[in-house]
Each structure stands twice: as C-alpha cells, then as structure tokens.
Amino acid sequence: MTHRMRLVDEAQTHIQRILKAGDYAVDATAGNGHDTLFLAQCVGPKGHVWALDIQAQALDATQRRLMEAQCAEQVTLCKQSHDALINTLPKFTQGKVKAIMFNLGYLPGSDKALTTQTHTTLSALKQALEFLADEGILSIMLYPGHPGGDEEAAEVFRWSQALTHDAFTINHIQTGKSSAPELILIAPKAAGGPRPEQVSDSESDARAQ
Ligand SMILES: C[S@@+](CC[C@H](N)C(=O)[O-])C[C@H]1O[C@@H](n2cnc3c(N)ncnc32)[C@H](O)[C@@H]1O
C-alpha cells in the first residue's frame, strides 16, 4: 500500500511539471476521481480533462469529488471503455493532450471482477499515443498483485519496450518485489521538453530504458 501511494504520487509529480493551465488531459480510468481532480486542478478552468470509466459508481464518485473542489466545469465524464478513446475524445485533441493517465486494476472497495483487461488496455494505450502532444506524458500504473494484473502488467511492459526508442523516452519504475505496483512513464522525444528521467527526484529505482 505504501508503494502504491508513493508511485501514484510520483506519477502526479512528473505530470505536474508538464501539465499547465489551459492544457488538455485525459484520465483513462477515473475510478474514485483522485487523478481526475489532480488533472483538473493542473489545467484549471481554461483547460479541459476527459475522464473515462466503465462504471457509473466510479463516475458518480468522481463527479462528487470534482463538485466539492469546484472543478467540475473543466471535466467531461464519459461512461465509456478506454479502448473507445478515438471515438470518445474530440478530433481536435489529437496530438494535443499533454497528460494521459492510466491507473489500471479495479475500483477500490468495489467488484474486483470489473478490472481492466489486457486486450482493451493495450488497445487504449495505442490510441492514447495518437492524442499525446509532442511535449506530453503518458503514465501507466500497473498492479501485478491481483488475478489478471500480472499478465496485464507484463503485456503492457512488453508493449512499452517495443515502442521505438528513437521516438519515445520510457521509464519503468519498480519499487520492490514482483507483485508490487509499477509505474511506466512514456514521453515523446520530439519537442525537447522535460523528460521523465530528467525531472525525477524519486528515491525509487527509476531506470531509464
Ligand atoms: C484503480 S481504479 C482507478 C483509480 C483512479 N485513477 C483514482 O484516482 O481514483 C481502476 C478503474 O478502472 C476502471 N476500468 C476498468 N476497465 C475499464 C475500461 N475498459 N475503461 C475505462 N475504465 C475502466 C474501473 O472501473 C476502475 O474504476
């Protein structure tokens, strides 16, 4: 649990250094809305966040959190699987989204069967790259410690390693044993903006791939 919290914070720290007021962002797994609220606060009222989840319960919790923080205006909630990203986000956002977050697994305190699935996750990640800005960042939190999560984490890692290293910087951050959460950060190399390995002040085992 400590590791999970630390890596979630680490993902947000990297994103915070890139995502600015007025930007676009996507939360591909809204869950209880912690990441959606974080993104909404970064982009402010002049920016916009699209948050997707397949569960109404998750989107309701996210909506409540946003309302309490008076950030609901700058967020569109979509009851949609993230493998329909291309049909869900407006066309004008292609190549313009500065931060895309995936926090895989199941909704804490809910039905563990409603977890992210390897094939839809991989499809969504490929689509996410179409939307990522040159100076943007894609973060993926992986949870190998639950049934199906180990296969999903391994496949997502394999997919990230198959991306061309001429075009992307890929950081894989592990904190401990094989069942512990992992974080993958992917940033296009094109625009020369801050790259994950340059901004990391983490004490964790951050390995530039
Ligand atoms: C670990 S939770 C996300 C936590 C969330 N980011 C937060 O800050 O509270 C994973 C979420 O992914 C959602 N999910 C599962 N499959 C999905 C899919 N195909 N598309 C979008 N969301 C999905 C689950 O319903 C669950 O709410």
Confidence of residue 180 (pLDDT cuts 50, 70, 90): very high
152 and 184 Cβ atoms separated by less than 8 Å: no
What is the tens place of the pLDDT at every residue in 60-90? 999 999 999 999 999 999 999 999 999 999 9
What is the tens place of the pLDDT at every residue in 132-152? 999 999 999 999 988 899 999
Q: Which helix (H) or strand (E) holds 65?
A: helix 56-68
Ligand 1, atom 9: closest residue by C-alpha = 32
Measure the N-to-C terminal CA separation of the chain; round to a whole number of Å.
26
Report the distance separating Cα 24 and Cα 99, nearest Å: 7
Report the distance separating Cα 134 and Cα 136, nearest Å: 6
3-state secondary structure of 100: strand
Does ligand 1 come within 6 angstroms of the Cβ of 8? no
- Token pair 């901004």: residue: 199
Ligand 1, atom 3: closest residue by C-alpha = 31
Mutational test site, ligand 1, from 7, 29, 102, 119, max ligand atoms within 8 Å of CB = 29
What is the tens place of the pLDDT at every residue in 146-175? 889 999 999 999 999 999 889 999 999 988
168 and 191 Cβ atoms separated by less than 8 Å: no
Does ligand 1 come within 6 angstroms of the Cβ of 80? no
Instruction: Tell me the average pLDDT across 123-129.
Output: 98
The pLDDT of residue 147: 87
The predicted model scores a pTM of 0.91
127 and 85 Cβ atoms separated by less than 8 Å: yes
| Domain 2-200 listed as CATH 1.10.3720.10 | no
* DSSP state letters, 134-172: EEEEEEEEE-TTSTTHHHHHHHHHHHHHHS-TTTEEEEE
The pLDDT of residue 112: 86
3-state secondary structure of 37: helix
The pLDDT of residue 193: 47
- Mean pLDDT (the chain) is 90
Confidence of residue 110 (pLDDT cuts 50, 70, 90): confident
Does ligand 1 come within 6 angstroms of the Cβ of 12? no
Does ligand 1 come within 6 angstroms of the Cβ of 81? yes
